[in-house]
């Protein structure tokens, strides 16, 4: 059944590691203007949905990899969860359009705004924020767009919707060209590149308002226009190596799923599957994702959540200039680029002989459309402390990494106490959601020979990856059950209770005392071996690019509802902590204040 959700997407071990750190991309994205305060200063109210952070890009950021640049207006809730642009319904429409042109990978998606907006893109004030030369939003966007041209030979720019067409027009004008916004394809594209052409299409999102026929006709026109340009110059827009350009007459307005190579490692498979897969809840405070069997806004399904996951700021930490609802600014290079190609394949069950079993056949009720991504956190090829850990929250599904909720935040203090800052890997037992499964079901799955075989190979690879001495920590009843059958190099094993079990804190302190007597490689000399029990924020270098500061903090942030008397495997909800939700906008900088003074009144 899992294969049904992989079709047309490549392999889950092909993934986007995030922006290359040796280029300006991470810094440019980190210089996002103060959207919230600018919106209030110019429009007089909150204009941007800020709670789930900005969405910067999707596609290629390495040099000379972008032939097609797609510019839209903003991201939606699917993009907020995937931390990549154009991953919802509109993104899948554009994915098919590019595929029709023979472009399967040499593209980059950006937007007019990196935050979603409330309401429509209309009126002088929102247009001032987007397009006026004095607007910090326009200035920062142009820096990003100019850098695309600096690192690539862009052949085609596609503007999707009114806001994007205006953004392309002001970009062309900023580079000395002329560009009538009502005839975007007549712009002076030569200021973007010697062979660059500009194409405009209506936004696919307009189909919901009854304009579907007009949208289809406009995309058909666009396909014909590209065909005419290609016929005039056969070298203008070469197909990608695995792409084939189809005749414009055969174009169909439909969707393609987003390739895994565009998304972070461990992403929930449901995201980018080909349509909108989530909806906003709780007055912007929550986003609910639903399975392939679920419903948008759970229509027809009556759900009940046990609580609202209020959370607290205990353990949260950041640096000057950071905002809780954005990725790091000061440490913009702090993110996990993934486990490396060989280990990524093994963790995802893609290595020959080490595939994951059919989970549902073993009794699990986890919906296969969510996949099995959040199996690890840390550095599997540079670890001295290898941790097998039972699942303790649903946060992992939406951070794409293991043990990122309350239990993981507590365990960071244990790692600190034993002198481990970076040399650890946490392997979740199991990679699917079994938090609500019975003990007997979990035991059946953990005892499966193939499950033992895969974990044994993962731990073996981690154990031999470097020459330093190592130790295996088994946290929770399933991890302790699995450890004797998944320790092929006979590492010393320290057993501990899972956080939330009775006596867990005492068990962890005993484990720390035991670890003090076991020789293993440490990152710091003379660690305290004293644990204060406090919650800590999951380090940013453990999480994929784009995660907000508040993710991996404030306790468990994700919830699974009940439908009737049973937990529903079809829905999960990620909730902003109250202390973040209640924040006022940060004050504008002096430069932003000066810019806003020029806005229309």
Of the candidates 390, 318, 369, the one whose C-alpha atom is nearest the C-alpha of residue 583 is 318
Q: What's the rounded Cα separation, in Å, for the pair 134 and 129? A: 9
My answer on whether 212 and 345 are in the same domain is no
Taking residues 555-578, report their average pLDDT. 97
My answer on whether 384 and 243 are in the same domain is no
For the segment 113-124, what is each residue's pLDDT rounded down to a tens digit? Answer: 999 999 999 999
Q: What's the rounded Cα separation, in Å, for the pair 600 and 418? A: 58
Of 255, 278, 301, the domain-final residue:
278
Of the candidates 501, 297, 498, the one whose C-alpha atom is nearest the C-alpha of residue 411 is 498
pLDDT band for position 434 (cuts 50, 70, 90): very high
Of the candidates 499, 502, 333, 529, the one whose C-alpha atom is nearest the C-alpha of residue 404 is 499
Only one residue has tokens 């952070």, namely 53
Tell me how far apart the 2 most distant CA atoms of the chain are, in Å. 75
The residues, ordered by sequence, that sit 6+ positions from 38 with a Cβ below 8 Å of its Cβ are 129, 135, 136, 137, 588, 592, 596
pLDDT band for position 210 (cuts 50, 70, 90): low
**Integer angstrom CA distances of residue 186 from 110, 148, 168, 200:** 22, 21, 12, 10
For the segment 256-279, what is each residue's pLDDT rounded down to a tens digit? Answer: 999 999 999 999 999 999 899 999
My answer on whether 499 and 411 are in the same domain is yes
For all residues of the chain together, what is the average pLDDT? 96
My answer on whether 274 and 340 are in the same domain is no
pLDDT band for position 207 (cuts 50, 70, 90): low
Q: Would 574 be classed as within a structural domain?
A: no
Of 230, 263, 278, the domain-final residue:
278
My answer on whether 401 and 498 are in the same domain is yes
547 token code pair: 């995660």
What is the Rg, in whole angstroms, of the alpha carbon atoms belonging to the chain? Answer: 25
Q: Where are the alpha helices (DSSP H) in 422-569?
A: 439-446, 449-464, 477-482, 504-516
Q: What burial letters (b/e) apply to 445-480, b meaning 16+ CB within 10 Å? A: bbebeebebbbbbbbebbbebeeeebbbbbbbbbbb
Residue 365: burial class (beta carbons within 10 Å; 0-12, 13-18, 19+): middle
Taking residues 509-527, report their average pLDDT. 97
My answer on whether 356 and 471 are in the same domain is yes
Q: What's the rounded Cα separation, in Å, for the pair 388 and 498? A: 11
Q: Would 467 be classed as within a structural domain?
A: yes
Q: Would 475 be classed as within a structural domain?
A: yes
Of 499, 523, 544, the domain-final residue:
544
My answer on whether 259 and 342 are in the same domain is no
Q: Would 552 be classed as within a structural domain?
A: no
Taking residues 384-406, report their average pLDDT. 98
Taking residues 468-484, report their average pLDDT. 98
Find the domain containing 475 and state its range. Answer: 336-544
My answer on whether 372 and 439 are in the same domain is yes
Q: Give the pLDDT score at 72.
A: 97
Taking residues 563-572, report their average pLDDT. 96
My answer on whether 163 and 240 are in the same domain is yes
pLDDT band for position 528 (cuts 50, 70, 90): very high
Say whether the peptide bond before residue 283 is cis (omega within 30 degrees of 0).
no
The pLDDT of residue 43 is above 80: yes
My answer on whether 369 and 459 are in the same domain is yes
My answer on whether 350 and 225 are in the same domain is no
Q: Give the pLDDT score at 135.
A: 98
My answer on whether 246 and 368 are in the same domain is no
The DSSP secondary-structure symbol of 423 reads: -
Q: Would 585 be classed as within a structural domain?
A: no
For the segment 332-346, what is each residue's pLDDT rounded down to a tens digit? Answer: 999 999 999 999 999
Of the candidates 75, 35, 33, the one whose C-alpha atom is nearest the C-alpha of residue 585 is 35
Q: Would 301 be classed as within a structural domain?
A: no
Structurally, the chain folds into a number of domains equal to: 2
Residue 90, H or E segment: helix 89-100
CATH number for the domain harbouring residue 200? 3.40.470.10
Q: Would 426 be classed as within a structural domain?
A: yes
Q: Decide which of 180 and 568 is more confident.
A: 568
- pLDDT exceeding 70 applies to what percent of the chain? 99
Q: Would 109 be classed as within a structural domain?
A: yes
The DSSP secondary-structure symbol of 444 reads: H
CATH number for the domain harbouring residue 462? 3.40.470
Taking residues 549-572, report their average pLDDT. 97
């Amino acid at each position: 059944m899992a294969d049904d959700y992989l079709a047309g997407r490549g392999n889950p071990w092909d993934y986007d590691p995030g922006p290359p750190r040796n280029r300006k991309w991470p810094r440019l994205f980190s210089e996002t203007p103060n959207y919230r305060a600018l919106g209030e200063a110019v429009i007089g109210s909150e204009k941007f949905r800020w709670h789930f952070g900005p969405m910067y890009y999707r596609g290629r950021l390495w040099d000379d990899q972008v032939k097609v640049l797609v510019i839209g207006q903003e991201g939606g809730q699917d993009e907020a969860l995937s931390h990549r642009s154009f991953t919802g319904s509109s993104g899948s429409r554009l994915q098919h359009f590019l595929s029709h042109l023979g472009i399967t990978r040499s593209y980059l998606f950006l937007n007019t705004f990196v935050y979603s907006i409330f309401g429509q893109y209309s009126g002088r004030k929102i247009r001032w924020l987007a397009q006026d030369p004095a607007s910090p939003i326009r200035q920062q966007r142009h820096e990003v767009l100019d850098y695309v041209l600096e690192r690539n030979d862009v052949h085609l720019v596609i503007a999707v919707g009114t806001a994007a067409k205006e953004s392309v027009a002001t970009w062309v004008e900023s580079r000395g060209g002329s560009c009538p916004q009502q005839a975007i394809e007549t712009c002076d594209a030569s200021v973007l590149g010697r062979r660059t052409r500009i194409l405009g299409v209506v936004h696919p999102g307009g189909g919901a308002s009854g304009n579907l026929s007009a949208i289809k006709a406009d995309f058909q026109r666009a396909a014909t226009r590209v065909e005419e340009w290609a016929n005039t110059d056969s070298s203008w827009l070469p197909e990608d190596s695995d792409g084939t350009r189809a005749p414009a007459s055969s174009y169909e307005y439909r969707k393609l799923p987003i390739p895994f190579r565009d998304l972070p490692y461990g992403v929930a498979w449901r995201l980018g599957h080909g349509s909108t897969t989530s909806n906003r809840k709780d007055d912007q405070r929550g986003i609910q994702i639903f399975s392939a069997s679920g419903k948008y806004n759970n229509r027809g399904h009556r759900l009940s959540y046990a609580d609202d996951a209020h959370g607290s700021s205990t353990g949260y930490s950041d640096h000057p200039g950071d905002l809780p609802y954005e990725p790091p600014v000061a440490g913009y290079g702090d993110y996990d680029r993934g486990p490396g190609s060989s280990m990524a394949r093994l963790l995802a069950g893609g290595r020959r002989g080490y595939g994951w079993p059919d989970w549902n056949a073993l009794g699990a009720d986890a919906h296969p459309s969510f996949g099995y991504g959040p199996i690890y956190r840390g550095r599997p090829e540079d670890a001295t402390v290898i941790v097998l850990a039972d699942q303790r929250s649903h946060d992992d599904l939406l951070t794409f990494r293991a043990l990122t909720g309350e239990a993981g935040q507590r365990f960071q203090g244990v790692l600190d106490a034993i002198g481990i800052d970076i040399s650890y890997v946490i392997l979740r037992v199991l990679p699917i959601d079994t938090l609500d499964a019975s003990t007997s079901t979990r035991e059946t799955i953990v005892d499966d020979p193939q499950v033992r075989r895969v974990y044994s190979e993962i731990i073996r690879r981690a154990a031999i990856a470097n020459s330093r001495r190592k130790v295996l920590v088994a946290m929770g009843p399933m991890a302790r059950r699995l450890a004797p059958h998944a320790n092929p190099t006979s590492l010393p094993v320290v057993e501990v209770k899972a956080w939330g079990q009775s006596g867990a804190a005492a068990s962890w302190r005993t484990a720390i005392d035991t670890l003090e007597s076991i020789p293993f490689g440490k990152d710091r000399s003379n660690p305290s071996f004293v644990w204060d029990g406090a919650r800590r924020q999951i380090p940013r270098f453990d999480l994929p690019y784009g995660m907000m500061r508040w993710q991996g903090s404030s306790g468990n942030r994700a919830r699974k509802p009940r439908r009737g008397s049973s937990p529903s495997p079809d829905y999960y909800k990620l909730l902003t902590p109250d202390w973040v939700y209640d924040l006022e906008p940060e004050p504008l900088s002096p430069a932003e204040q000066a810019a806003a003074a020029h806005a229309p009144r």
